[in-house]
Structure 1
């Protein structure tokens, strides 16, 4: 329960299908970066200091990769499969950085469903405004299990 309201359980493995997709779009704002940095105490200047970043190969501040991972895991927890799911394993690459104020499109696709082990394999690709891949990954997720199953 959140603030007195019972949360709806996400979709069980029987309610998912291979090829199913979800797309979300996020704009990375300063407030999001500051919240991340405050929560993690990660003070790498490449993430927030424009003068420091201008002296690097990136030329401007970049978005912490773990922050992008958080956006992905949040979407899995909220939407695909949703509340009650558990992330068991992830494999990620970040071929190029994302920058502040980027608009990022995340595409999730169910690639495999293993009913016997209650596991779903989800591929995630995130692209920037120039259609360049900034995140590519595979997530192994256990959808919610109902007690009377």
Structure 2
């Protein structure tokens, strides 16, 4: 990664409208789960051990809820509003478990644009391929701020 190369910023608050939507499809693979478990040192057998999970009411391994949160926060950073955004708060619930190998569809919708607070409210809903809701909630997001290009004032001291 180039450290001093400026990345393109996401959309500014005046470029975002109530009702905008984003739909994202993800599939969590074994490699993703292993990376998460290794990174967090989470040893919950319900997340990785098929034989253990088969003896529980879940019957199969689950995707850790924190991974679902990672997917939604990544969508904010990449797409809505995009690079330079900051999540101020999030309220989420997990009505149903998300199982390994399920294809997940996430829907995001801009519910409010509050320009005086430089804040947008995004509603989110994630479903598995059986149409079960696995995550739902809202996020308060601060879109990227506008700033003057570095070259714009470069020679002011001379």
Give the TM-score, by structure 2 length.
0.90
Matches within 5 A, 1:50-69: 50-69=50-69
Whole-Å Cα distance in 1 between the matches of residues 83 and 147 of structure 2? 15
Q: In structure 2, what is the equivalent of residue 129 of structure 1?
A: 129
Whole-Å Cα distance in 2 between the matches of residues 119 and 15 of structure 1? 12
Shift of 1:6: 2.3
Q: Deviations over 1:22-59 (max 9, x none)?
A: 01100111011001101111110000001111111101
The answer to whether residue 26 in structure 2 is matched with residue 26 in structure 1 is yes
Question: C-alpha root-mean-square deviation of aligned residues, in Å?
Answer: 0.9
Q: In structure 2, what is the equivalent of residue 73 of structure 1?
A: 73
The answer to whether residue 99 in structure 2 is matched with residue 99 in structure 1 is yes
Q: In structure 1, what is the equivalent of residue 10 of structure 2?
A: 10
Whole-Å Cα distance in 2 between the matches of residues 71 and 146 of structure 1? 26
Give the TM-score, by structure 1 length.
0.96
Whole-Å Cα distance in 2 between the matches of residues 107 and 77 of structure 1? 15
Q: Secondary structure at the match of 1:144?
A: coil
Whole-Å Cα distance in 2 between the matches of residues 38 and 12 of structure 1? 36
Whole-Å Cα distance in 2 between the matches of residues 147 and 7 of structure 1? 13
Aligned residues: 147
Whole-Å Cα distance in 1 between the matches of residues 76 and 8 of structure 2? 14
Whole-Å Cα distance in 2 between the matches of residues 142 and 28 of structure 1? 28
Q: In structure 2, what is the equivalent of residue 117 of structure 1?
A: 117
Whole-Å Cα distance in 2 between the matches of residues 104 and 6 of structure 1? 32
> Unpaired segments of 5 or more residues in structure 2?
149-158
Q: Secondary structure at the match of 1:91?
A: strand
Q: In structure 2, what is the equivalent of residue 90 of structure 1?
A: 90
